[in-house]
Structure 1
């Protein structure tokens, strides 16, 4: 850069005035050149450089750069303008280089390839640069060296135990002050056994890994892991665990591990079913090799393990750590999660590294010996177990040698096959699983059992030999003293024995054992130290030093683990797996323990059971907590009990018979409907709504609603006009021309069918939708309103996933009440009821009728429903009822289902005609263009057949308590197609006569009415797998049958047929290439737990036709299709390619 004349003059004068060099001869690479100062820097700067400096400082503060400002380039330009010998410029350049270097990890802590992809059985390769760091069968590390003189005359270890640790006869035993349940400490036991298993032959060696990898379940090495695996479909052997030592602990610990076992197998099954991006392609049995099946099993097993460990660590951080920090008693969602993605900034110049690996230490081996927390129940169990192991010797009097020999003998005698081991005296069934009832009884007892308290003289005497062995082992490890350990964590030294424990007796005994507080050994000191009181931040109420140390250890165990940090991604766990293990701060402040319990035992717990949602505190204390938080009403407080298995009814005759009998078979939806629309326990609505029950009030409601829906004389013309123009407009607006092609493409479900039906329901019921074309000042967008209505629908009609049911219920209720209030305001505006209505009217609620058609900026006409909306709401207002009662009790319930049902049926119908029924597309196109009454009649039959052949519809009934048990005879009219046993298409049952069975359905037992199988019943639909246009309309069942047949059948048939006509009236309609041209679905079989019985009584493993669909990102299941892309010939290209229809329309699948 050329220097200015002033700078050149300054340089000349400086040289002239400088002294003669003392040493004129310099080395050739001498860099001792005089640096220029700040004045020279300022002279070289431009005005914009000052903004660059300011932006650099802002980035340094917040750790994030907006590269749209081109700060990188401006920084380089600024540095280039500074004098070459600028001292500040060099410092800034150094910082710039440091920033660029720091953007990458050195050396990299992640890698591709199978070696890095999954956890190894022994924990190796967690740190790829130090592959043996933290692996099983490596030595413990040391947290802190001991520098003070210890011994050599330590007090007798038995005396130490008897003096400051022993609970004695139990009279001094204390319950945990925060009423923590034994269930919490069972998890603590699992964590301890996960990372600490000392080799009795070499006490410096740890037999398990230093990572939270669930080795008590999966095994510590390849041999133990192989013993746990079924080597089929990624599964574990059912209802067992690897660690032998767990068998001598309270059975609640084993049940905890069995729950993880069941969760793993649930996950493996779903991974195979979803097969995200063909990641788990099932080998073709006709030509697959043994290696293909091994690979299939391995990928499923390892991925399921990653997901199961993900839930495990979330339980630790969100349930366990929050409880020990007493955060479960607050309404806060804050937690101590070491996985936070820290940013480097001025306030955090040195973010904690992650994925470094971990090596557990001998000190923490001692810290986690929490025998004092054994409840009285578990003390009794432990005493009996040890007495049996010791051949009748009292454990409190056994020597260390006797105890060691007993434990080693136990280890030798336990069978190597986990399924051959005796657990809690339970008997395995024919499928090698344990009874759900017996396991749940153990779990319930564990949740109700108050654990013991920490502190001096709280360890059961039956643990005497174990504690003495611990004291001796700590001495052999030469661990630091209690005070040295405290100083390592920057805690104040205990100056007196009273500082350690203010109890005079304990302090006196410590003084008699040790000469000085500085001499108190680590392990006895940790156990006898005073405990923290219950308070905010202190829920565990553990000894002071332990409370500080375990938080550091929790951070190290999680943040140092590659599989919980940089490799904990949806890519590695799959989208569905990541979501399945994930937490939601809006549900129980992030707690996730309920996910594990519901997956293990789906048949016992109410969706909102306090036992499932907060099992780490006993229920009585949870009641106190949630009363204070005003959340007790959200939960069910009853003990878990087995739910009665439902019966699945399948034949057309039986289905119609049951649906016609509303005396002995009632609808089950009343409680859920009232829950959604009732704002408080003292304001319960919708009990008399037509779908809420089968009494006289429900019958009157049905007639009232029917009259309101069909009061307008030209309702059908109005609906058809709405659907025709809106469908055409959405299709045109949402589609785009494929580059270099004559075809358009659109997501026909997401961008046409769903918004079309959502806008219809909004216009029909006066819901506050926000659209660019007709209602820019509304409240909810198409998608928001659709999601709101669908989650309401699922809560009432599709509550099939117990692990997510609570979240769905609470979300749906919150959203429903918001919508209900808005609709109520609309009704109040029309009724001119109160000041709220006056204000709302000024904001656009209510008011004059909107025109039938509204034109957008492109001239497209968007019709409304002038006879509905506010007019329908007005018609639904009933005499003697308030506006709130009418809106909550009638308008809200009836509006919930329309969008979801119509979108589902139309999407599945279209899916059929784009696949198995694609040969009919040319005729459908011809009929759509013919546009006559006769053609429309045929199109209606085509649509109903498409729905029948591909639709999945199910309803439910139950026998009321007032009725007697009902005897029902049924058959299985169809079976799975052998060529595609999990597909959506059955074949007629060739042995339908032999499938006849009779059920006795008990009061309060549900009957699942399978309208899908009934729609493939040859007795009602001859040639059931053939599309025929001569079938009686009354035989079709998608809208139900009998007294509760859908009131909106006439309206929705007309509306859907109009939309169907528009869609099939596009030439060359075809699926888009690849998976995006399909609506991804999987066979729906309700998870009934691991126990291998029939899915439901009478349901068996027969074909039900029921399917669930994947969300667009495949992270969860949805009751109806969510996405499917199609193509069709653009309007201007149709004349060029008349044969394109046949070429594109045929042969798709």
Structure 2
């Protein structure tokens, strides 16, 4: 292709563009960029990235306001005196200050460390220890850190106390008044709190028989025997939709659904671990393997899956639960309270230890009793359960003895096998799972269910016996008074009853019961104490004063004291993929991750941007208010979750062609994404682009694009460009293999991807940085990444969990690229006519008298987004096919080498046929269509058979509005259309291939692409002895790491094997010099 003349980019302000581009790509590095580098092999440390330049300490101090300086002085004062007055809201003001600071600043880093240290020091900790290989997995009976049945840590001493029944009736009972939570927190947050409580406590009046760790014991069990009941002992899987902890069945079903979602995530994880089999770590034993080998295979998968699932669990606690507690969800800050930070000694802080172990005290067992927050709906559920257990009796007529006896009987009657236990009156299906519709209905109602507020007289009356039992239990432990506990935790003592609660009625009751504030017992003092007011950020849970400090201290201790979340939280233990899968990213929901659990559990009910999945801890109506204030409401779907129609896979060649040819009844599905990427505020773009729909304007757009892509002499231009550029990149990026006469290159990353990026840049006059134009704006690697993410958003955004992140990243990058193209085109349009192939298409579009903006946003941007990644994909897949070992492939490569040396029309045509066959046999292409008939409201029956003897069993019924996936991969190996379909046959009709699509939406650039890929094939196989690169250790760098996915599709691993990607990312080849 003739090179474009120098482009004057002065109007594009290169330095400003570079800064914007670098910032954008940095924000999406978890999708693409970061996968190109090595994954770290050291413990996870959030916060300050090694490559991030911290802003100065003094410069941040200079920006502080008067209130912020006061907060810092209060923090220093509390550190010196060892006590803080929580009436002055130091905690909340410090959260507010940190949320406003630049998270990459030294001041933010040091203050966060001081905050964590302050909370850490509120409770004692065991000494730090380190465990050997025996405990590389989280062992249930670990004799050191994770000790079983330890005595509850009694830290203070009791006083004489009044009647529990009188206490409940006067200080705790809700009576007939329900007060909704002031921040409209949903029951979902308290369901997670319930899981946490039962994770770290299982109390038998004297000891806790579960570990003091966030290890998802309600799901996995607290003993080996319990764990065994939930395992299948096959492929690392858990039994479907069940959990170990029987006590969960005594709570509203939303709690059980929450645990079931983690069950499903575990099973998803171990399935993927087995498919990836990182460095042979999970190699499946053969049929003749010993029982011990199979047991090890199962256990390695199970235990690694458990570590990964627990990693997501703790991220949900820190990034969703704690963020909501601190009201950070109401701000746009990415700061959060993550105790896994690594800090040095500073003015504000001496670093807290980590991985010391944890023993949760008896006091914290009481602090987590949040019955005041029980919603009206869950109050009603509890009343119904009482009526079922004690028919004909009012709750107040049930004695404590009767209640305890009935609860004991209930637990004893529950089957030991979790699959046999009843749950929410739901019926299990044949495979043991519950119907997703039923679980989603419970989940949706729970998200919409507003919880109650904290404070005196807020506990549902139905929980009278439970609360009285709690008071009695606390007394049996010789529990501290409220003031003693506050003093122990570093808080000022309550000097007056008014300080405990400003409500005069509550003050009078406390005085009558306890005489003096020092006599108020911890429980129910925690319940009767005043609640903190809403503060954004700072106070989101609006819980009682003492509790608000204590729960943050406990969260810090639970995570920082656990070696599995600190020292051993590494990709080495979780695998690269597992580590990345549960990681958070601040570009999505400012770091919240609970959506991963919900969407992975119910992929067929939620939209990828459903507010029900992304922010379930606040009811939707309140989320609307919050997100409107942040300018983000339009990013999310506010629809209630409903089951999507089942995706129907079309597998046969005949059915595929018939559907793809019929645009009247089968509509393309790409329009929404194209419009999303190209539209601007107050201007809808892309709706008339050829791939966006099936209407006359879309047809006109296709003709326009075709006219621009194929000017006179286009063949010579395309062939010359691809041959010259492919050879140049091979020379530039290949290197000599030491000790040999061979050269090596990553032909996917450094050749196929870049030559197509350069082609796109040339066609649309984009000044990229190359050896010939060092002053370009995008590097070729950056341009490929941008175009690939846009392509994925339009055509391959099928992973529901990643879809929102992909969409947001693609929109940002597309808008940036569109503005840049418009800037360049406007400059070119003012100067002179554009004549060569590289700018022919632009000139053709401008000749239509469309404005530059309409040309760029309506035609050029979606065209360039659709033309790069798939070209690299086809070339890499076809090349990979012919690099296989074995006699036929040796023969193919030999002939391809000989053909590449001839430079004749006949030889090149035969190379084309080789490419088309390789692409047919290896391409992973699927095309979606929606059935929207023009003249019928009836379902359609499609005969979808790949058999020479069709039968009625091959018929599939598609309802109106139903979506189908035409599986081109399977259709391309249909024996009816391709006799001996798995063999290379160079005599197949050239117009029989489907991997470029078919019908009115067949790839507009197909002819140019086939010529381009043939040219690249010719250059590649013209290299003497072309073969895969090999290694003596680990996985071959010369293989495309392929992973089969749902709907018969295939994805590829990124170079570090940390994530899946729709396109090949790396494949190294070797050839002989000379």
- Give TM class, smaller chain: 0.7 to 0.9
Match of 2:696 in 1: 696
Name the CA distance, whole Å, in 2 between partners of 1:108 and 1:906. 54
How many angstroms does 1:770 deviate by?
Answer: 1.9
How many angstroms does 1:112 deviate by?
Answer: 4.4
Name the CA distance, whole Å, in 1 between partners of 2:378 and 2:272. 37
State the number of aligned residues: 946
Deviations 1:94-121 (A, max 9, x none): xxxxxxxxxxxx99844442x221111x
Question: Are 1:137 and 2:149 an aligned pair?
Answer: yes
Deviations 1:964-985 (A, max 9, x none): 3453433453xxxxxxxxxxxx
Match of 1:461 in 2: 461
How many angstroms does 1:649 deviate by?
Answer: 0.8
Question: Are 1:1020 and 2:977 an aligned pair?
Answer: yes
Secondary structure in 2 aligned to 1:1121?
Answer: coil
Kept after mapping to 2: 8 A contact 1:164/1:506: yes
Name the CA distance, whole Å, in 2 between partners of 1:133 and 1:390. 43
Match of 1:827 in 2: 825
How many angstroms does 1:63 deviate by?
Answer: 15
Kept after mapping to 2: 8 A contact 1:830/1:870: no
How many angstroms does 1:890 deviate by?
Answer: 0.5
Name the CA distance, whole Å, in 1 between partners of 2:311 and 2:200. 16
Name the CA distance, whole Å, in 2 between partners of 1:348 and 1:534. 27
Name the CA distance, whole Å, in 2 between partners of 1:870 and 1:111. 64
Deviations 1:696-755 (A, max 9, x none): 1111111111111112x1111011111111111111111111111111111111111111
Deviations 1:408-428 (A, max 9, x none): 111101111000011000011
Deviations 1:202-256 (A, max 9, x none): x211111100000001111000100000111100000011111111210000000
How many angstroms does 1:878 deviate by?
Answer: 6.0
Match of 1:363 in 2: 363
Change (3 A) 1:544 1:351: same
Name the CA distance, whole Å, in 2 between partners of 1:544 and 1:885. 58
Kept after mapping to 2: 8 A contact 1:652/1:1014: yes
Question: Are 1:290 and 2:291 an aligned pair?
Answer: yes
Match of 2:159 in 1: 150
Match of 1:872 in 2: 841
Name the CA distance, whole Å, in 2 between partners of 1:1037 and 1:350. 65
How many angstroms does 1:647 deviate by?
Answer: 1.1
Question: Are 1:818 and 2:822 an aligned pair?
Answer: no
Match of 2:1007 in 1: 1050
Change (3 A) 1:231 1:924: same
Q: How does 1:943-954 map to 2 (within 5 A)?
A: 943-954=915-926
Deviations 1:563-602 (A, max 9, x none): 1011111111111111111100010000011100110000
Secondary structure in 2 aligned to 1:119?
Answer: coil
Match of 1:1128 in 2: 1071
- Max radius of gyration: which structure? 1
Kept after mapping to 2: 8 A contact 1:251/1:442: yes
Match of 1:182 in 2: 187
Name the CA distance, whole Å, in 1 between partners of 2:883 and 2:424. 56
Match of 1:983 in 2: none
Name the CA distance, whole Å, in 2 between partners of 1:558 and 1:434. 33
Secondary structure in 1 aligned to 2:372?
Answer: helix
Match of 2:903 in 1: 931
Match of 1:236 in 2: 238
Question: Are 1:720 and 2:719 an aligned pair?
Answer: yes
How many angstroms does 1:64 deviate by?
Answer: 11
Secondary structure in 1 aligned to 2:468?
Answer: helix
Kept after mapping to 1: 8 A contact 2:129/2:355: yes
Kept after mapping to 2: 8 A contact 1:659/1:1041: yes
Change (3 A) 1:749 1:806: same
How many angstroms does 1:795 deviate by?
Answer: 0.7
Match of 2:91 in 1: none
Match of 1:900 in 2: 869
How many angstroms does 1:391 deviate by?
Answer: 4.7
Q: Which has the higher contact order (CA 8 A, sep 6+)?
A: 2
Match of 2:882 in 1: 913
Match of 1:217 in 2: 219
Question: Are 1:193 and 2:194 an aligned pair?
Answer: no
Q: How does 1:975-1124 map to 2 (within 5 A)?
A: 993=950, 996-1074=953-1031, 1075-1086=1035-1046, 1104=1048, 1106-1124=1049-1067
Secondary structure in 1 aligned to 2:778?
Answer: coil
Name the CA distance, whole Å, in 2 between partners of 1:455 and 1:476. 25
Change (3 A) 1:689 1:234: same
Name the CA distance, whole Å, in 2 between partners of 1:499 and 1:1006. 63
Name the CA distance, whole Å, in 2 between partners of 1:555 and 1:392. 47
Match of 2:762 in 1: 763
How many angstroms does 1:874 deviate by?
Answer: 2.4
Q: How does 1:564-579 map to 2 (within 5 A)?
A: 564-579=565-580
Name the CA distance, whole Å, in 2 between partners of 1:301 and 1:995. 42
Question: Are 1:890 and 2:859 an aligned pair?
Answer: yes
How many angstroms does 1:768 deviate by?
Answer: 3.7
Secondary structure in 2 aligned to 1:898?
Answer: coil
Name the CA distance, whole Å, in 2 between partners of 1:543 and 1:185. 15
For structure 1, the residue ranges without an aligned partner over 5 or more in a row are 1-61, 66-105, 126-130, 833-845, 850-865, 974-988, 1087-1094, 1096-1103, 1132-1149
Change (3 A) 1:255 1:768: farther
Change (3 A) 1:427 1:1027: same
Match of 1:969 in 2: 942
Match of 2:675 in 1: 674
Question: Are 1:803 and 2:793 an aligned pair?
Answer: no
Secondary structure in 1 aligned to 2:769?
Answer: coil
Secondary structure in 2 aligned to 1:198?
Answer: coil
How many angstroms does 1:271 deviate by?
Answer: 0.5
Kept after mapping to 1: 8 A contact 2:708/2:840: no
How many angstroms does 1:1026 deviate by?
Answer: 1.5
Kept after mapping to 2: 8 A contact 1:654/1:970: yes
Name the CA distance, whole Å, in 1 between partners of 2:526 and 2:798. 48
How many angstroms does 1:1083 deviate by?
Answer: 4.2
Deviations 1:535-578 (A, max 9, x none): 12000000001001111100000000111011111111111111
Name the CA distance, whole Å, in 2 between partners of 1:709 and 1:158. 84
Match of 2:170 in 1: 163
Kept after mapping to 1: 8 A contact 2:686/2:859: yes
How many angstroms does 1:799 deviate by?
Answer: 1.1
Name the CA distance, whole Å, in 1 between partners of 2:373 and 2:598. 23
Name the CA distance, whole Å, in 1 between partners of 2:357 and 2:663. 64
Match of 2:790 in 1: 792
Name the CA distance, whole Å, in 1 between partners of 2:299 and 2:127. 29
Match of 2:603 in 1: 602
Q: How does 1:466-545 map to 2 (within 5 A)?
A: 466-536=466-536, 537-545=538-546
Match of 1:266 in 2: 268
Question: Are 1:119 and 2:131 an aligned pair?
Answer: no
Change (3 A) 1:848 1:348: farther
Change (3 A) 1:914 1:63: closer
Match of 1:95 in 2: none
Name the CA distance, whole Å, in 1 between partners of 2:145 and 2:990. 71
How many angstroms does 1:383 deviate by?
Answer: 1.5
How many angstroms does 1:1085 deviate by?
Answer: 2.8
Secondary structure in 2 aligned to 1:499?
Answer: helix
Secondary structure in 2 aligned to 1:407?
Answer: helix
Kept after mapping to 2: 8 A contact 1:227/1:417: yes
Name the CA distance, whole Å, in 1 between partners of 2:146 and 2:394. 38
Q: How does 1:366-381 map to 2 (within 5 A)?
A: 366-381=366-381
Kept after mapping to 1: 8 A contact 2:686/2:857: yes
How many angstroms does 1:350 deviate by?
Answer: 2.9
Secondary structure in 1 aligned to 2:385?
Answer: helix
Kept after mapping to 2: 8 A contact 1:396/1:463: no
TM (norm. structure 2) is 0.86
Kept after mapping to 2: 8 A contact 1:737/1:1130: no
Match of 1:98 in 2: none
Kept after mapping to 2: 8 A contact 1:768/1:823: no
Change (3 A) 1:138 1:692: same
Name the CA distance, whole Å, in 1 between partners of 2:791 and 2:624. 31
